[in-house]
Structure 1
Amino acid sequence: MEPVIMIRTMKIMKIADILKAMDTTEELAKEMGFLPRDCLFLRLATEEACTNAYEYCKKERRFPFNVFWKREGYKFKIIIKQKGGCFSIEPSDVVNTGMRGRGLQLISHIVDHVYVKQVGNDVLFCMCKCKKYLSEE
């Protein structure tokens, strides 16, 4: 079993920090050897997850929140940690045409595994993308 390696952490307080988190995701995904298309989509997933957390933290006055990047063998994990209650992710292939609410659905189609976990007073939003070997692509 491959060890989990914490690659980076970042505290998010303002919108500019989200842009830095997006850059970090893209940089780390490139270092892991993800295809340019996957790097772009992981950047987008980071943006969506951080924007959701930012809007919640702003509304509830619960700043900051944190982003963690981890590597476990061929798995790249992006974890958003914020104060608050757990929420659910309902997988659906029905297209949401409303003004809001497409971010989680989009993320679930970008990454290979996504889940939410309550840990004490914190909620962890975890996204995992697996690096495929050349023979699988």
Structure 2
Amino acid sequence: MKPKAMIRTMVIMKTADILKAMEITDELAKRMGFLPRDCLFLRLATEEACTNAYEYCQKTRRLPFRIFWKIDARQFMIIVKQRGGCFSVAQTDAINTGSRGRGLQLIAHIVDAVYVKRAGNNVLFCMCKCKK
């Protein structure tokens, strides 16, 4: 029998919640058996995704937003769900020297798959790291 996926969720209302989300990511990544380096990078991806969502939601008065973690035997999904407009993310090797906009590129290089999809009035920013 195939093991069931585990799902965990959290509401983000303030910056302290982002720190808690990073801790949860680290805990779950360790439980899955990721190497310490990968755990650190997944924490960073969580921080970047949540900070982007927090800044957008605060500016547009759409707080709170949610983060979900979905784990099965082979992959670790982190999903940030917020209300608002869709955006795109693509992995590129171009160097961004601007003052903003490097977080999504950083995330794209950390995880194995990243995509954005619309779900009604919400946008889901999905990050997937596979267990090798």
TM-score of the two chains, using structure 1 as the length reference: 0.92
Q: What one-letter code is carried by the residue in structure 1 that aligns with 2:98?
A: G
Aligned ranges for residues 91-102 of structure 1 at < 5 Å?
91-102=91-102
How far off is 1:4 after superposition?
6.0
Which amino acid letter does the alignment assign opposite residue 66 of structure 2? N
- Number of aligned residue pairs: 132
Using the TM superposition, give the Cα deviation of residue 3 of structure 1 relative to its aligned residue in structure 2, in angstroms.
Answer: 6.4
**Residues 1:86 and 2:86 are matched in the alignment:** yes
Alignment of 1:11-30 (within 5 A): 11-30=11-30
- State the Cα deviation string for residues 24-46 of structure 1 (Å, max 9, x = none): 00000000000000000000000
Identity of aligned residues (%): 74
SS at structure 2 position matched to 1:38 = helix
Unaligned runs of 5+ in 1: 133-137
CA RMSD in angstroms, aligned pairs only = 1.4
Task: Specify the SS of the correspondent of 2:94.
Answer: coil
| Conserved 8 A contact 1:25-1:46 | yes
2:125 is paired with a residue whose SS is: strand
Task: Deviation per CA, 1:82-119: give whole Å up to 9, x if none.
Answer: 00111111321011111100000000000000000000
Q: Which runs of 5+ in 2 are unaligned?
A: none
Name the TM-score, length of structure 2 as normaliser.
Answer: 0.96
Map residues 24-43 of structure 1 onto 2, 5 A cutoff: 24-43=24-43
| 2:5 aligned counterpart, secondary structure | strand
